[in-house]
Structure 1
């Protein structure tokens, strides 16, 4: 997460429960009927503030947040807001205000700290673009590309980390490559980092247009998406407040990898589930 100190103090305050409820009502049929989504283990989210750490799937057309949010609000109601951290590029267009009002806030340490201090549940996808565009053949691998800001955020706020693992989203089309080699070959790496905070040029194959580079133009297939919320981890209690961040990150990813492996063992067929 960014440590940008720009004026983002109002992001958390803009959450609108009425608008959020309306959006959830609109997205529920999509995630429940088209993707046949299931979210298990929501009772593992403890009372009070916590940082839900999840793997990310589905490319540009990711439905991870919608899948989680529908079941979260159906379980806990709208008196307990869910905030999701997102890159600044999401807020570059006219929809920025809409995102903030539905709980999507800029991924800065300040925003995360304020949301957690309010007692909210905060959802973060540490792997970001690196994770969401991983090849379909590696869909069951947890890899955050060395990003450990979520550990620092949880430790500084003194809140537990709640791991959540998801399967199925990376089958919405065939993700062939993150395309780092292609970005380098075309000399786009520096420009992409400046404009989009990424250095990948994803290559995918899907329906109905076939091969796609960068922005998939294909419809996501109706793949069954299952998310499992795992028991919370109190890092300070388990490792001490002075524990090495990389060690803590490795432990969280190990727990998540075990959980994702279990989900994968329960999945009998791609897309069908």
Structure 2
């Protein structure tokens, strides 16, 4: 915001900064002395430069803090805070996405620019970083910069701090009523039907899809008539290769498993650093559901067939991506 200094006499006239005044004097002196030589251009010849990246970052941060202090931001009924997501959560994940995992996306044009849709992806990696990287991909790489409203297990929302942040990022409990309300309102919803069976499977079973449950996500898509977009993620299996499970510790902490990897718990906190595998996220051709009636969501055979179709699409894409990959860390 531009400001002007007031003169001592209180007249309210705008005072031109001294730099501008001295620049005018310099130009006047130069005009009296004759034209400047082309070999020594004056200060007025320099083109004005815009704000640096650091200055822009500071301005954005200051504007964000002002909005938070003034309460000038919105949160929807599920707790989603787009202002916090765009300015804090996504930027915090972006270095991991761009520099550490070096994620490449394929088939982004299959994700609609507007309207409800259901992204269904494979789950892996011991910790659910694949869900977070998918959210960053859709926010940064999609032309419409779409927010992914993730469906998560209740265990996630019971965790201190992390549960609240997950809500603010737009996630909600993996249940049909919430999913249907989101998709009916035009949101892009993400689901990982393998659940803990997927992210907690042993490394020897990598890229072998686990059971997709009873197909609740298909029922929700049928009731709302939104397309189902298969999403295949390669690279997440190698970040924490799970070679063991300490079940007594898992029961002690109320977790589905307590993983043992080549670096954890052997290296302590350092073992929590994910290995820098090369990632590929491919969005497949949408499977339409609007040709069916909402009542067809109660047809178990139709739900089973669509669930199997989505699962097979993801599995075949995983095999294809793996056959094209030369190395898990170099791509």
Same fold (TM over 0.5): yes
Q: What secondary structure does 1:174 align onto?
A: coil
Of structures 1 and 2, the one with the larger relative CO (CA 8 A, separation 6+) is 1
Task: In structure 1, list runs of 5 or more residues that go unmatched.
Answer: 1-9
- Offset, 1:173: 2.6
Work out the CA distance in 1 between the residues paired with 2:77 and 2:225.
Answer: 19
**Paired residue secondary structure (2:306):** helix
CA deviations over 1:101-138 (Å, ceiling 9, x no partner): 21111112221111111101000111111001222232
Could you tell me which of 307, 310, 319 is aligned with 1:249? 307
In 1, distance between residues paired with 2:151 and 2:327? 32
Structure 1 contact 130–145 (Cα < 8 Å) conserved: no
Q: Does 1:66 align with 2:132?
A: yes
Counterpart among 111, 122, 130 of residue 45 in structure 1: 111
Answering whether residue 263 of structure 2 is matched by residue 207 of structure 1, we say yes
In structure 2, distance between residues paired with 1:234 and 1:216 = 45
- Tell me which residue corresponds to 1:20: 85
Q: 2:285 aligns with which of 228, 231, 240?
A: 231
Q: What's 2:224 paired with? A: 157
Partner in structure 1 of residue 188 of structure 2: 121
- In structure 1, the residue matched to 2:206 is 139
The CA deviation at 1:12 is 4.8
Question: Per-residue deviation at 1:43?
Answer: 1.1
| TM, length-normalised to structure 2 | 0.67
- Residue of structure 2 equivalent to 1:5: none
Task: In structure 2, list runs of 5 or more residues that go unmatched.
Answer: 1-74
Greater displacement, 136-145 / 102-111: 136-145
Q: In the TM superposition, what whole-angstrom CA distance separates every residue of 1:162-214 from its partner, at most 9, and x where no partner exists?
A: 0000011111132225x5xx75xx6x88x98xx55x4xx354322264499xx
Question: Alignment RMSD, CA only?
Answer: 3.0
Structure 1 CA distance for aligned equivalents of residues 104 and 142 of structure 2 = 16
| In structure 2, distance between residues paired with 1:91 and 1:131 | 19
Alignment coverage as a number of residue pairs: 250
| The structure with more strand, counted as a fraction of residues | 1
Measured against aligned partners, the alpha-carbon deviations of 1:218-263 in whole angstroms (never above 9, x if no partner) come to 3211111111010100146389934432222111111111111111
Tell me, yes or no, if the aligned pair for 2:121 and 2:230 is still in contact at 8 Å: yes
Bigger Cα displacement from structure 2, 113-122 vs 10-19: 10-19
Change (3 A) 1:79 1:203: closer
How far apart in 1 are the matches of 2:77 and 2:204? 37
Change (3 A) 1:79 1:137: closer
**Structure 2 match to 1:97:** 164
Q: Could you state the TM-score of these two structures normalised by the residue count of structure 1?
A: 0.80
Whether 1:56 aligns to 2:107 is no
Larger Rg: 2
Closer, same or farther: CA 257–210 of 1 in aligned 2, 3 Å: same
> What is the CA–CA distance in structure 2 between the aligned matches of 1:75 and 1:168, rounded to whole Å?
18
- Distance change >3 Å, CA 123–CA 12, structure 1 → 2: farther
- Shift of the 150–209 alpha-carbon distance from structure 1 to 2, 3 Å rule, reads same
Contact 1:86 1:104 in 2 (8 A): yes
Deviation string for 1:29-73 (max 9, x for gaps)? 11110111112211101241011000112112x321221122211
CA, structure 1 residues 103+141, in 2 after alignment: closer, same or farther (shift >3 Å)? same
Given that residues 49 and 119 in structure 1 are in contact (C-alpha distance below 8 angstroms), is that contact kept between their aligned partners in structure 2? Answer: yes
